């Protein structure tokens, strides 16, 4: 059985194997908080040479940083401490609800670095107007993130409704039906930042997003894999 700390079988093509193993090493460093190349190699089951090559690529991408040497009290040569970078790529989250819009920028360590909330009544308002307001708040957050040397690599939009394929099929509390939220939000954000590259946009129901956050950053970090998430 393969889990997220298992190297791919050799039958996969080289590019796929390398992408998977890069993710494997980054996840190991993230979960450990800090680690050495030797420690990561032991944890994920790859050779030290393979891990060293992967770490060099992650350093080039700016997603991992070196933080000096391990304490000299350990056996053997001191290793270089690796941590997930607190600058560089980040995630941009947007929540649109009936009476507020919230935006946050999260670094690769899972820490909220920017959080903005705007209290506004979105019920019955044209979707394009609401999404334009969300884009303005997101653009402010991106500017604040840049002051901290963070650059969002993508956006996820959470909404209170049935969301599939980038479209809000229906959101009764907002009065929305068949709204292409990903495309509209991407256009609104790009219009505010025309000199920047377009950010990829994804979307989901707010409860789904909250449950995933609990899995990745809450109870899931304590080993819980099955739980009931209640919201309302």
Q: What's 125's domain CATH number?
A: 3.30.420.40
pLDDT attached to residue 182: 98
Boundary (domain end) residue, out of 84, 100, 120: 84
In a domain, 5, yes or no: no
* pLDDT tens digits for range 30-39: 988 899 999 9
Of 84, 111, 141, the one marking the end of a domain is 84
Domain count for the chain, please give it. Answer: 2
Half-sphere exposure of 72 (CA within 13 A, CB side): 0
Q: Are residues 34 and 145 in the same domain?
A: no
pLDDT at 10: 58
pTM confidence score: 0.83
In the predicted model, residues of the chain with pLDDT beneath 70 are 1-12, 71-76
162, burial (CB in 10 Å: exposed 0-12, middle 13-18, buried 19+): middle
Exposure string over 144-161, b if 16+ CB within 10 A, otherwise e: bbeeeebbbeebbbbbbb
What is the Cα–Cα distance from 197 to 184, expressed in whole angstroms? 16
Q: Which residues have CB under 8 Å from 80's CB, separation 6+?
A: 36, 37, 66, 67, 68, 69, 70
Question: Rounded to an integer, what distance in angstroms lies between the CA atom of residue 7 and that of residue 4?
Answer: 8
State residue 128's pLDDT score.
Answer: 97
In a domain, 205, yes or no: yes
**Domain holding 55: CATH number?**
1.10.10.10
Instruction: Report residue 154 as tokens.
Output: 């993508």
Residue 13 has a pLDDT of: 82
Residues 74 and 102 both lie in one domain:
no
Residue 37, domain extent: 15-84
Confirm whether 71 is domain-assigned.
Answer: yes
Last residue of a domain, one of 45, 66, 84: 84
DSSP H/E element including 137: helix 127-147
Q: What's the DSSP call for residue 5?
A: T
The pLDDT of residue 19 is: 93
Task: For residue 90, give the 3-state DSSP assignment.
Answer: strand
Looking at residue 2, what is its pLDDT?
A: 40
What is the greatest pairwise CA distance in the chain? 66
Are 21 and 61 found together in one domain?
yes
């Amino acid at each position: 059985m393969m889990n997220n700390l298992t190297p791919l079988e050799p039958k996969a093509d080289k590019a796929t194997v390398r992408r998977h193993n890069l993710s494997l090493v980054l996840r190991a460093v993230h979960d450990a908080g800090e680690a050495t190349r030797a420690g990561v190699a032991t944890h994920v089951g790859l050779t030290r040479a393979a891990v060293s090559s992967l770490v060099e690529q992650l350093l080039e991408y700016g997603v991992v940083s070196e933080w000096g040497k391990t304490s000299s009290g350990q056996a053997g040569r001191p290793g270089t401490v690796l941590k997930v970078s607190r600058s560089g790529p980040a995630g941009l989250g947007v929540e649109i609800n009936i009476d507020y819009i919230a935006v946050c920028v999260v670094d690769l360590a899972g820490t909220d670095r920017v959080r903005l909330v705007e209290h506004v009544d979105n019920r019955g308002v044209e979707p394009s107007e609401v999404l334009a307001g969300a884009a303005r708040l997101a653009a402010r957050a991106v500017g604040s993130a840049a002051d901290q040397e963070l650059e969002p690599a993508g956006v996820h939009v959470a909404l209170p409704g049935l969301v599939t394929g980038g479209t809000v099929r229906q959101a009764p509390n907002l009065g929305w039906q068949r709204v292409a939220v990903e495309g509209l939000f991407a256009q609104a954000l790009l219009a505010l930042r025309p000199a920047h590259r377009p950010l990829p946009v994804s979307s989901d129901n707010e409860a789904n997003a909250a449950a995933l956050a609990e899995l990745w950053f809450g109870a899931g970090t304590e080993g819980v894999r099955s739980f009931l998430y209640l919201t309302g």
